[in-house]
Amino acid sequence: MNTTSDHGRPTTPQTRRREAALAGHRNDLAAAMAFLGDPDPGVRTAALGALVRLDALGSESVVVLVADGAPSVRRRLAEELGRRWSAIGGPQDPPGPSGGGSDHGALVILLGDPDGLVAEAAAWALGELASSEFEPLSAAERRTVVALLGTAVTDHDDPLVREAAAAALGAVGDPNGLPAVLAATKDKPAVRRRAVIALAAFLGEAGVDEALQRATEDRDWQVRQAASVLLDPHR
């Protein structure tokens, strides 16, 4: 990426970040794409935001961004992929240039990212993708998502990732994800809280009432409160 202006003067990263962000407001897709190759991760993140604004975050750009060397860029990518499938404030029509399959592939890679914050964002995004009202995934892809999230809940070293993955399984509500959520009710307090809330999607399934009853005696008051509400919503 050329970091000089049209007049040959060097530009600062701050200037390029501004120009990358403005590309999204100016409907300048060429500039936004060009800034994806900038040496500064802040500029690349701004370019990603511009592509989102232009509804032009397509599969080719996603492939490039998944391999970006900066965790901050990869995390932003995971967040944006989750947002475009989110039912909360999400689009009224199915998201455009990148289909669910390509987003699924990118997020699977990001869930295995060595940076915990990237993996956490990917876990959340996979939950949004797999639970989208637009049903973008095939049955096989959905099974893969549930299995990977379940593994993240039970095996990941980072509790933030385990917490996000448990919440994602609750959002998806697939019965195959229940064993991992039940296991998470015995994890660290923050993970236990999230797992108990996720059990709302599995009420009536085997083992859920027992886990909720046990959670009403948890050392953490928030865990106890969440379990009590699920057992007696009118309490």
Q: What are phi and psi of 10, to 5 degrees?
A: -60, 145
Secondary structure (3-state) at 145? helix
pTM: 0.91
Q: Which residues contact 129 (CB under 8 A, 6 or more apart)?
A: 81, 82, 85, 100, 103, 104, 107, 136, 137, 145
114 touches 143 (CB < 8 A): no
- Report pLDDT for 219: 97
102 band by pLDDT with thresholds 50, 70 and 90: confident
Question: Residue 86: pLDDT above 60?
Answer: yes
Provide φ and ψ at 80, rounded to 5°: -70, -35
Q: Residue 10 pairs with which residues in a beta bridge?
A: 4
Summarised one tens digit per residue, pLDDT across range 14-31 is: 999 999 999 999 999 999
Least confident of 45-59, 72-86, 92-106, 183-197: 92-106
In terms of Cα–Cα distance, which of 104, 185, 180 is closest to 145?
A: 104
pLDDT single digits (tens) 106-134: 999 999 999 999 999 999 999 999 999 88
Is residue 212 within 8 Å of 193, Cβ to Cβ? Answer: no
Which tokens belong to 11? 């530009």
Domains of the chain: residue spans and CATH: 13-177 (1.25.10.10)
Closest CA to 142 of 85, 66, 203: 85
